[in-house]
Amino acid sequence: MHKKLSALWIVGWFPSKANPYAGNFIYRHALACSSQIDITVVHGATYFIGQEKNMPVTEKYPFPLIWIPIPQFQSGLLKPLNLVIYYCWFYVQLLKQVKRNNVFDILHVHAPDKCGILATWIKRKLKINKMVLTEHWAIYNSHVPDHFLTRNQWFQFAIKQTWKYTDYAAQVSLPLHHEMQKLLGKTIPTIEFANVVPSDFFVPTENAKYEKFNFVHVSNFENRKNIPLIFAAFLKLYAEDNAISIEFIGADKSTKEYYQTQFSTQMSAELSNSQDQFVWEIHEKESPSRINEIFRKSHCLLMASSSENAPCVIAEALCTSLPVISSNVGGISNMVNDSNGILFDLEINEKTWSAYNNRNIETLYQSMKIMKQNVLSGKYENIEIAAKAKYSASSISQELNQLYLSIS
Looking up residue 168, the CATH number of its domain turns out to be 3.40.50.2000
Host domain of residue 80: 6-193+392-407
**Same domain flag for 322 and 247:** yes
**Same domain flag for 205 and 348:** yes
14 CA to centre of own chain: 12
**Same domain flag for 63 and 143:** yes
**Same domain flag for 175 and 43:** yes
**Same domain flag for 205 and 163:** no
**Same domain flag for 247 and 185:** no
**Same domain flag for 220 and 175:** no
**Same domain flag for 57 and 188:** yes
**Same domain flag for 188 and 253:** no
The angle formed by the CA atoms of residues 195, 180 and 150, to the nearest 5 degrees, is 110
Per-residue pLDDT of the chain (408 residues; tens, 9 = 90+): 456 899 999 999 999 999 998 999 999 999 999 999 999 999 999 999 999 999 999 989 999 999 999 999 998 889 999 999 999 999 999 999 987 667 899 999 999 999 999 999 999 999 999 999 999 998 998 778 889 999 999 999 999 999 999 999 999 999 999 999 999 989 999 999 999 999 988 887 777 899 999 999 999 999 999 999 999 999 999 999 999 999 999 999 999 999 999 998 888 765 655 555 679 999 999 988 899 999 999 999 999 999 898 999 999 999 999 999 999 998 999 999 999 999 999 998 877 778 999 999 999 999 999 999 999 999 999 999 999 999 999 999 999 999 999 998
Global pTM value: 0.91
**Same domain flag for 181 and 42:** yes
CA-wise closest residue to 94 among 125, 117, 131, 53? 125
User: Is 1 within the bounds of a domain?
Assistant: no
User: Is 182 within the bounds of a domain?
Assistant: yes
84 CA to centre of own chain: 28
**Same domain flag for 78 and 66:** yes
Total domains in the chain come to 2
**Same domain flag for 203 and 58:** no
